[in-house]
Amino acid sequence: MGRLISNQLKGREPDRPFRYRDLGTMAVVGKNFAVLESGRLRMSGSSPGLAWVLIHLMSLPQLQNGLRVQIQWLWSYFSGQRSSRLIPEAPRERSP
């Protein structure tokens, strides 16, 4: 999909028409539980969770990003600590 849009922005004609492929649905429900639905295949448990992790790591564009995310996920999984992604703001002064 990204190449198709990139080529269109560059003024190139697409090689073939875009076709949507439904790969199914995956969701992580808890630490060791996920669900997967793809066509007639329906799974739940820890195996779909492992598949979810592998698919998401493989879809990251650079090896460094994948390694960084993998280390963060492993740390979070084994330590139980979740990193917060908050952007703190300075407290506002109250007006009287």
51-73 pLDDT, tens digit per residue, is 888 887 777 777 777 778 878 87
Give this prediction's pTM. Answer: 0.52
Tokens of 36: 């997967």
Q: Could you identify the residue written with the tokens 């429900």?
A: 29
Domain ranges of the chain: 20-79
On the CB side of 8, CA atoms within 13 Å amount to 9
Note the pLDDT of residue 84: 59
Question: Closest Cα partner for 51 from 71, 37, 69, 36?
Answer: 36
Q: Give dist(CA 35, CA 51) in Å, integer.
A: 10
Q: Give dist(CA 73, CA 64) in Å, integer.
A: 14
Full 3-state SS string of 66-83: HHHHHHHHHHHHHHCCCC
